Amino acid sequence: MKSSNIEKQQIINAALNEYGVITEELSYQECVEKLRSYLKIEDKETLTKKFGEYAIAAENYECITEDEIEEGRKVLSLLNKGKLFSKSNIYVRTFVTVKLGNKSMFSLVSPNQILWELSGVSRDMAEDIAKQISEKLGIALKIY
- Is residue 88 within 8 A of residue 120, CB to CB? The reply is yes
pLDDT of 121 above 50: yes
Ordered by start, the domain boundaries in the chain are 43-143
User: In the prediction, which pLDDT does 1 show?
Assistant: 45
116 burial type by CB count under 10 A (0-12 exposed, 13-18 middle, 19+ buried): buried
pLDDT of 83 above 60: no
- Note the residue count of the chain: 144
- Is residue 28 within 8 A of residue 5, CB to CB? The reply is yes
User: In the prediction, which pLDDT does 70 show?
Assistant: 85
User: In the prediction, which pLDDT does 28 show?
Assistant: 85
Helix/strand/coil (H/E/C) assignment for every residue in 56-106: EEECCCEEEEHHHHHHHHHHHHHHHHCCCCCCCEEEECCCCCEEECCCEEE
**Tens digit of pLDDT for each residue in 21-68?**
888 888 888 888 888 888 888 776 666 778 888 999 999 888 888 888
- Is residue 52 within 8 A of residue 118, CB to CB? The reply is yes
pLDDT of 141 above 90: yes
CA-wise closest residue to 34 among 18, 50, 48: 18
Confidence of residue 144 (pLDDT cuts 50, 70, 90): confident
Q: Give the CATH architecture of domain 43-143.
A: Alpha-Beta Complex (3.90)
Confidence of residue 129 (pLDDT cuts 50, 70, 90): confident
- CA dihedral of 25, 31, 33, 38, whole degrees rounded to 10: 110
